[in-house]
């Protein structure tokens, strides 16, 4: 009897210790806790641009561009760290169409990323590029700040033919099965404009409307390459624009509060930018993604709040299907 009692006590003690350790583990590292991952990254591989938009916050302070082999290595590191989507931006990425095409193909064909997208002003996109690389591209986002060409010219968005190029590119995206997105910077020059009819005509799947943003050291004064101060609007003026267009199904507003730290931006050296909060991180090519990521200020809650993950994959084109464009 004494032996059985002793054995029972030992069993109960063992179970009590296991339960205790399990609860301690939950307190220290909850089951649902997981390290942050760079789910969606914007790679600004060049700062050079053929446009002169007055509010640009990623200006041509350098002309540097990584060798292709290093760019691929960095992107692979990001994919291994959990990146699902990459967005190529600038500057103007189509200043380097071959470089861009090879990266787009690499991301989709070899890394098999969920989504590959490009932000462009559209002026340098050629149909022959789409003939070759559209199959590897999910989304093309084209900048359009006004449907009044005079306003575009005043902003620095082209020399008077931007809208013609913009509309033509919307048709080409449909032809080559690339999701067409529109990016608009809401500023002093356009916040009173009614864009509803024109947006309905081009019918983007997503229309991002950013409140113009001033970034220290990039576009905040006459000492920087761009000075966005003359474009700045109040939060109330931004809301006027939003209320006018909020019924559009594609409409996605992003105020300064939401936008500022909810993006992961990788510069031409593959450093994460801290958007005026502090200096850029070290390059992921030097220290790896985890070390660089630990040093970047990224508001992942705002990323989720602004719908950072969305329907970012294009539908596969069925054989024999036709597109009415």
The 3 state secondary structure assigned to the chain is CHHHHHHHHHHHHHHHHHHHHHHHHHHHCCCCCCCCCCCEEEEECCCCCCCCCCCCCCCCCCCCCCCHHHHHHHHHHHHHCCCCEEEEECCCHHHCHHHHHHHHHHHHHHCCCCEEEEEECCCCCCHHHHHHHHHHCCEEEEECCCCCHHHHHHHCCCCCCHHHHHHHHHHHHHHCCCEEEEEEEECCCCCCCCCHHHHHHHCCCEEEEEECCCCCCCCECCCCCCEHHHHCCCHHHHHHHHHHHCCCCCEEEECHHHHCCCCEEECCCCCECCCCCCCCCCCHHHHCHHHHHHCCCCCHHHHHHCCCCCCCCCCCCCCCCCCCC
> What would the mean pLDDT of 250-275 be, rounded to a whole number?
90
What pLDDT does residue 65 have? 96
pLDDT at 85 over 70: yes
Question: Is residue 53 annotated as part of the catalytic site, yes or no?
Answer: yes
Mind listing the pLDDT tens digit for each residue in 254-264? 998 887 778 99
The whole-angstrom separation of Cα 256 and Cα 139 is 24
pLDDT at 192 over 90: yes
- Which listed residue (56, 107, 144, 209) is catalytic? 56
> What would the mean pLDDT of 311-320 be, rounded to a whole number?
74
- Which listed residue (49, 144, 173, 187) is catalytic? 49
124, 95 contact by CB (below 8 A): yes
Mind listing the pLDDT tens digit for each residue in 97-111? 999 999 999 999 999
pLDDT at 217 over 90: no
- Quick one: tokens of 232? 């700045």
pLDDT at 307 over 80: yes
> What would the mean pLDDT of 44-61 be, rounded to a whole number?
89
Confidence bin at 276 (pLDDT 50/70/90): low
pTM of the model: 0.84
pLDDT at 325 over 70: no
pLDDT at 31 over 80: no
- Quick one: tokens of 29? 């590292």
Residue among 41, 172, 206 nearest 114 (CA): 41
The whole-angstrom separation of Cα 83 and Cα 116 is 11
Q: Computed from CA positions of residues 70, 64, 128, 75, in that sequence, does the dihedral angle turn out positive or negative?
A: positive
pLDDT at 89 over 50: yes
Question: Is residue 144 annotated as part of the catalytic site, yes or no?
Answer: no
What pLDDT does residue 11 have? 52
Confidence bin at 14 (pLDDT 50/70/90): low
28, 195 contact by CB (below 8 A): no
49, 92 contact by CB (below 8 A): yes
The whole-angstrom separation of Cα 325 and Cα 323 is 6
pLDDT at 29 over 90: no
Q: Measured between alpha carbons, how far is residue 76 from residues 54, 79, 81, 113 in Å?
A: 34, 5, 9, 10
Largest CA distance in the chain: 98
What pLDDT does residue 109 have? 97
Distance of CA 127 to the CA centre of its chain: 24
Residue among 138, 136, 73 nearest 105 (CA): 136
Residue among 132, 134, 212, 209 nearest 169 (CA): 134
Best-predicted range by mean pLDDT (47-61, 188-202, 226-240)? 188-202
- Which listed residue (53, 144, 187, 209) is catalytic? 53
pLDDT at 185 over 60: yes
> What would the mean pLDDT of 172-178 be, rounded to a whole number?
98
The whole-angstrom separation of Cα 277 and Cα 33 is 26
What pLDDT does residue 5 have? 54
> What would the mean pLDDT of 22-48 be, rounded to a whole number?
68
- Quick one: tokens of 118? 């490009």
Higher pLDDT, 21 or 204: 204
pLDDT at 68 over 50: yes
What pLDDT does residue 316 have? 75
pLDDT at 27 over 60: no
């Amino acid at each position: 009897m004494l032996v059985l009692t002793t054995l029972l006590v030992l069993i109960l003690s063992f179970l009590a210790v296991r339960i205790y350790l399990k609860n301690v583990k939950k307190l220290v590292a909850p089951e649902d806790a997981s390290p942050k991952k760079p789910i969606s990254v914007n790679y600004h591989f060049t700062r050079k641009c053929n446009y002169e938009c007055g509010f640009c916050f990623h200006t041509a302070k350098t002309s540097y561009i990584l060798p292709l082999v290093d760019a691929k290595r960095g992107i692979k590191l990001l994919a291994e760290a959990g990146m699902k989507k990459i967005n190529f931006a600038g500057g103007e990425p189509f200043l380097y169409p071959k470089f861009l095409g090879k990266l787009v193909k690499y991301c989709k064909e070899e890394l098999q990323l969920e989504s590959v997208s490009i932000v462009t002003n559209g002026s340098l996109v050629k149909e022959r590029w789409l003939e070759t690389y559209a199959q590897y591209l999910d989304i093309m986002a084209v900048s359009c700040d006004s449907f009044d060409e005079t306003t575009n010219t005043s902003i620095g968005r082209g020399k008077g033919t931007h809208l013609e190029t913009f509309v033509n590119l919307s048709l080409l995206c449909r032809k080559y099965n690339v999701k067409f997105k529109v990016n608009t910077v809401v500023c002093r020059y356009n916040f009173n404009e009614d864009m509803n009819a024109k947006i309905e005509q081009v019918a983007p799947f997503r229309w991002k409307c950013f409140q113009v943003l001033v970034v220290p050291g990039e576009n905040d004064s006459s000492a920087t390459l761009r000075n966005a101060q003359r474009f700045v609007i109040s939060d109330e003026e931004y809301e006027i624009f939003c209320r006018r267009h909020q019924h559009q199904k594609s409409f996605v507003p992003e105020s300064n509060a939401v936008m500022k730290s909810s993006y992961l931006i990788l510069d031409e050296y593959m450093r994460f930018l801290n958007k005026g909060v502090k200096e850029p991180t070290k390059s992921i090519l030097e220290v790896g993604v985890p070390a660089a990521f630990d040093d970047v200020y990224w508001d992942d809650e705002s990323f989720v709040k602004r719908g950072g993950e969305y329907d970012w994959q294009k539908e596969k084109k069925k054989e024999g299907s036709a597109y009415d464009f």
